[in-house]
Amino acid sequence: MFDRLPRWTRLKLFLRRPRDDSRMESWRLDGDQSISVIETANKKEEYDYLASKAETSIAALNQKRASLGIIKPDDVTFCFDHIKQGEEYMMSFFKEEKPEQIKPRITFRDDDGKHSLQLRDWGAHEFLRKNPTHKHYMLWDALKLNNDLYQHLFFVGNHNQHRNIWLIIGIISIKIALQPDVFNHKPAQTAGFLL
């Protein structure tokens, strides 16, 4: 098996339909089959492709009865919520005996309005698990969410039992290519002689 797979690795893997989930996009790894690396994708090309598939809003995903989607968010803010006693937590998903006491939450706008969704990204979970509480705020730096030089796509998915409740299950960020300011461009100073 692999120690670590970079995010932009393309894989060949074998999947099966789960018996307990009727959502069209829901699949499980077929545990008896091998996974092989095909190639590494070009991040910019992949980001542009995914951005072209983004829906305009969570409402559009609900209308299509989708269970997965991509959203290009605006006005992103973030915070941590504390887990309330007795609140359902996906302990079996993360295979934890004791859940974290905080939940990362991201607020953003789409074409339908403002949303506040819980972040359930595996990398974010691992960051919080591996770092002491006083460093949890650094999660937002790691995700580039507080850096204006990056644009983001949110992978969102809904609950199997509550299909209008959405979670952010992944964040893809890419650095924005800065355009030169042609109106304030000064010619480069060069040393030389006029003949």
Confidence band (pLDDT; 50, 70, 90) for 19?
confident
The span from the CA of 158 to the CA of 71, in Å, is 13
- Asked if residue 68 has pLDDT above 50, the reply is yes
C-beta of residue 36 within 8 angstroms of C-beta of residue 10: no
Residue 92 pLDDT > 50, yes or no? Answer: no
In sequence order, the β-bridge partners of residue 110 are 113
Stronger pLDDT, 155 or 122, i.e. the higher one: 155
pLDDT of residue 91 exceeding 60, the answer is no
Cα–chain center distance at 182: 34
The domains of the chain are located at: 1-41, 42-178
Residues 32, 16: Cα–Cα separation, whole Å: 11
| Chain mean pLDDT for the chain | 81
Q: In which residue are the tokens 């305009």 written? A: 56
Give 70's pLDDT tier (boundaries 50, 70, 90): very high
Where is average pLDDT lowest: 16-20, 53-57, 106-110, 117-121?
16-20
The 102-110 sheet, strands edge to edge: 74-82, 102-110, 113-118
Higher pLDDT, 76 or 195: 76
pLDDT > 70: what percent of the chain? 79
Query: Does residue 90 register a pLDDT over 90?
Result: no
What confidence category does residue 29 fall into, taking pLDDT thresholds of 50, 70 and 90? confident
